[in-house]
């Protein structure tokens, strides 16, 4: 049980995680007595109080228990879960929180972000192989399946969100950025009929799948809507009356609302606005900003069930629109 403290968290947290990792690696087995407080205190040169707090934390989580409050033993097999996401956002936090809330406290989730960097993604995956009971992974690309993922046992891997590639034999819970978008827009066709033009605000460098532009264009062509695709929101002169804006970046939502205010235009009254992916502030700005996307809580529930039940899952979540006052 070699181990050195670092400055990333408290010694109590680090020691608790170290003991839990040892249990996950089967170095300490269920029912087995673990070393005493004095033993850990001497081995790691920490106070008895630090050791006691670490053991108490593990006991609260049901990982260990004690006989007469003294001799500690392993009460349950701990489970280590890798949750590898692309980048932080409020809806990714919803995903993480939902998964964590549905797993027993003996499950330990290591959360990493790869920032769409293929080299970083591969390093995280390769270094994680064999260390986790389950792998919940957002690929770094919607079109290209990482070869690194083939090194993980298929039964332990769940692909999240992205997945326009061959997923044969793998479990996945994804969203359809093409047909899903088309069908969601079709569900509000009657509301869209009142607008002169539909505008998709979609930066060409954004990591959202570029194929969504084709789905948007096809919807507009099939239904005879005038449309355009806008790469950036300039400082002024973009927001026009009776135009409808579908927006990927939440920073662009803010730009549109601010520019509209400057020009005396309100979403839902003078122009339409629909933002990709839900955000808590959408409920409170203006008269409410409508959003389009999948249910991230549902993705979290399915991911947690995959971890707990060891059952394969292959599903696409529907793309839905949450209507508010912005159109």
> Mean per-residue pLDDT for 218-223?
98
> Mean per-residue pLDDT for 3-23?
85
Q: Which residues contact 12 (CB under 8 A, 6 or more apart)?
A: 50, 53, 54, 57
User: Percent of the chain, pLDDT > 70?
Assistant: 98
Among 55-69, 97-111, 141-155, 193-207, the minimum mean pLDDT is found in 55-69
> Mean per-residue pLDDT for 216-226?
98
Among 16-30, 201-215, 220-234, the minimum mean pLDDT is found in 16-30
Residue bearing the bigger pLDDT, 115 or 130: 115
Q: Report how far residue 135's alpha carbon sits from residue 160's, in angstroms, rounded to the nearest whole number.
A: 10
Q: Which residues contact 269 (CB under 8 A, 6 or more apart)?
A: none
Q: What tokens appear for 46 in the block? A: 């920490």
Are 11-74 and 179-293 in the same CATH fold? no
* Residue 73 bridge partners (DSSP): 33, 65
> Mean per-residue pLDDT for 116-121?
96
pLDDT at 2: 62
CB 292 within 8 A of CB 275: yes
pLDDT at 174: 97
pLDDT at 205: 86
Measured CA to CA in angstroms, residue 141 lies from 86, 103, 112, 161, 178 at distances of 9, 28, 16, 10, 15
Q: Report how far residue 124's alpha carbon sits from residue 115's, in angstroms, rounded to the nearest whole number.
A: 12
Among 82-86, 131-135, 299-303, the minimum mean pLDDT is found in 131-135
pLDDT at 69: 62
- Phi, psi angles (nearest 5°) of residue 229: -120, 125
Fold exhibited by the domain 11-74: Arc Repressor Mutant, subunit A (1.10.10)
Q: Report how far residue 24's alpha carbon sits from residue 80's, in angstroms, rounded to the nearest whole number.
A: 7
pLDDT at 59: 85
- Phi, psi angles (nearest 5°) of residue 147: -65, -25
Residue (of 285, 208, 297, 299) closest to 246 by Cα position: 208
CATH code for the domain defined by 179-293: 3.40.50.2300
pLDDT at 23: 82
> Mean per-residue pLDDT for 292-299?
97
Residues in the chain: 327
Q: Please give the sequence-ordered ranges of beta strands (E in DSSP) within the chain, or none if there are none.
A: 64-67, 71-74, 79-85, 107-113, 134-138, 157-161, 171-175, 197-201, 227-230, 243-247, 272-276, 290-293, 314-317, 320-322
Q: What tokens appear for 302 in the block? A: 């399915």
Measured CA to CA in angstroms, residue 272 lies from 102, 218, 251, 261, 287 at distances of 37, 20, 17, 14, 12
pLDDT at 1: 54
> Mean per-residue pLDDT for 212-239?
93
For residue 61, pLDDT over 80 is answered with: no
pLDDT band (50, 70, 90) for residue 68: low
Q: Helix crossing, 11-24 with 48-60: angle to 10°? A: 50
> Mean per-residue pLDDT for 36-45?
90
| Segments making up each domain of the chain, as ranges | 11-74, 79-175+295-318, 179-293
Strands, sheet with 243-247, edge to edge from the N-terminal-most edge strand: 227-230, 197-201, 243-247, 272-276, 290-293, 320-322
Measured CA to CA in angstroms, residue 19 lies from 13, 54, 240 at distances of 10, 9, 60
**How much is the mean pLDDT over the chain?**
92
Measured CA to CA in angstroms, residue 63 lies from 23, 38, 149 at distances of 9, 20, 30
Q: What's the pTM?
A: 0.80
Q: Report how far residue 223's alpha carbon sits from residue 290's, in angstroms, rounded to the nearest whole number.
A: 22
**pLDDT tens column, 156-169:** 999 999 999 999 99
pLDDT at 320: 96
pLDDT band (50, 70, 90) for residue 201: very high
Tell me which CATH homologous superfamily contains domain 79-175+295-318: Response regulator (3.40.50.2300)
pLDDT band (50, 70, 90) for residue 91: very high
CB count within 10 Å of CB 258 equals 13
pLDDT band (50, 70, 90) for residue 252: very high
Q: Which residues contact 194 (CB under 8 A, 6 or more apart)?
A: 242
DSSP readout, 225-244?
--EEEES---SSS---TTEE
């Amino acid at each position: 049980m070699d181990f050195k403290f670092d400055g990333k968290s408290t010694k109590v947290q680090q020691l608790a995680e170290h003991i839990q990792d040892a249990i996950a690696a089967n170095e300490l087995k269920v029912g087995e007595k673990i070393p005493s407080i004095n033993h850990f205190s001497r081995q790691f040169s920490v106070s008895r109080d630090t050791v006691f707090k670490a053991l108490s934390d593990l006991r609260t989580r049901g990982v260990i228990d004690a006989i007469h409050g003294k001799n500690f033993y392993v009460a349950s097999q701990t489970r280590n879960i890798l949750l590898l996401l692309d980048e932080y956002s409020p809806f990714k936090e919803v995903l993480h929180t939902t998964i964590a809330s549905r797993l027993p406290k003996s499950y330990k989730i290591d959360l990493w972000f790869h920032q769409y960097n293929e080299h970083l993604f591969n390093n995280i995956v390769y270094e994680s192989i064999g260390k986790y009971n389950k792998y919940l992974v957002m690929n770094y690309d919607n079109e290209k399946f990482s070869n690194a993922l083939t090194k993980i046992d298929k039964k332990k891997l769940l692909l999240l969100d992205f997945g326009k590639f061959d997923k044969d034999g793998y479990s996945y819970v994804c969203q359809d950025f093409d047909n899903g978008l088309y069908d969601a827009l079709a569900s509000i066709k009657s509301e869209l009929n009142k607008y002169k033009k539909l505008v998709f605000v979609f930066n060409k460098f954004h990591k959202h799948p570029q194929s969504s532009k084709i789905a948007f264009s096809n919807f507009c062509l099939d239904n005879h809507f005038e449309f355009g695709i806008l790469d950036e929101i300039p400082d002024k002169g973009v927001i026009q009356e009776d135009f409808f804006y579908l927006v990927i970046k939440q920073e662009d939502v803010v730009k549109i609302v601010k520019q509209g205010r400057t020009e005396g235009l309100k979403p839902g009254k003078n122009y339409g606005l629909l933002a990709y992916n839900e955000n808590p502030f959408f409920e409170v700005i203006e008269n409410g900003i409508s959003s389009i996307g999948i249910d991230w809580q549902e993705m979290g529930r399915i991911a947690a069930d995959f971890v707990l039940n060891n059952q394969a899952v292959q599903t696409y979540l529907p793309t839905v629109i949450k209507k508010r006052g912005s159109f």
